[in-house]
Amino acid sequence: MDTIACLGCEKTLKLPQYVDTDNYDGQLRCSKCQALLYVKLTRGKVRKYKIIERSRPKEQKWNIVVQNEETKQLTQRVGDRTRKEAESGKKGVEL
């Protein structure tokens, strides 16, 4: 046995060379989902296998700006007011 299926994403993981399949008791990390797995192998067979830590998906931040003519004008008006207020010392923007 030189492969094992990840319990987090079911990807087939190739066991690293340092893993002695006749006698291994340790942790492995999935390269796809980054889950931390505990595995115990004896005589080439899996004796214990569990997921220690599921990795959380990385948050994706999306900044989507859709500008049409109306939003361009609004952005310009807010910018103009903000500049004028900054020059006069006032704070806040009122539309």
> Comparing 43 with 67, which gets the higher pLDDT?
43
Which pLDDT belongs to residue 8?
87
Q: What's the average model confidence in pLDDT over 54-70?
A: 62
Domain-by-domain residue ranges, the chain?
Answer: 3-53
What percent of the chain clears pLDDT 70, i.e. is strictly above it?
Answer: 58
Phi and psi, residue 85, nearest 5°: -70, -35
Rounded Cα distance, 11 and 2, in Å = 14
The answer to whether residue 82 scores a pLDDT higher than 70 is no
Q: What is the mean pLDDT of residues 50-77?
A: 67
Q: What single-letter amino acid sits at 27?
A: Q
Dig out the tokens for 59 from the structure: 């948050």
What is the C-alpha separation between 65 and 47, in angstroms, rounded? 53
Closest C-alpha among 45, 48, 47, 9 to residue 30: 9
Average pLDDT, the chain: 77
CA angle (20 as vertex; 24, 45 as ends), nearest 5: 65
With cut-offs at 50, 70 and 90, classify the pLDDT of residue 79.
low
What span, in angstroms and rounded, lies between the C-alpha atoms of 45 and 38?
A: 14
**pTM above the 0.85 mark?**
no
